[in-house]
Structure 1
Amino acid sequence: MKREVEEIAAEQPAQPNKKKRVYIIIGVVLLVILAGGGYYNYSQRQAFDGLQVDSAATAAVGFDNADPKDLEDADGWSSLENYQHWNNAIFTLPEYDNIPLRYRRGITKIFMGNNYLEPVDDKPIYKFTRIKDRAKSVFCYGNFTDRNDSDSWNKEMAFLVEKNDYQSSAIWIISAKGDILFWKEYSSELPLINSFKKGQKIFMDEMKLVPAPADGIIVKNKNSKYALIYNKSSKTFDSYYQYSDSEIQEATTSEEEPYVEELEDVTIDSARTNTGTKE
Structure 2
Amino acid sequence: MPSPALRNDFSPSPASPVSVGTQSHAHDASTANPNGLRVFNPDESHSADVDVQPVRQSRWTIWGCLTASLIVGTLFASLTGCQWAAGSQNTQGAALYNQGQYTAAMEQFQKAIASDPTDADGYYNLAATSHRLGNQRQDPNLIRQSEALYNQCLDHDPNHIDCHRGLAVLLVDSGRPDRAFTLLKNWAAQNPALAEPRIELARLYEEHGEPQTALKYLEDAVQQDANNARAWLALARLREASNDPVQALQNYQRALALGGGVLGPNGAMVSERVAALSRQINSTRDAASFNAGGTQMAAPAGFGSSRY
Question: TM-score of the superposition, structure 1-length normalised?
Answer: 0.24
Structure 1 or 2: more helix by fraction: 2
Structure 1 or 2: more strand by fraction: 1
Higher relative contact order (CA 8 A, sep 6+): 2
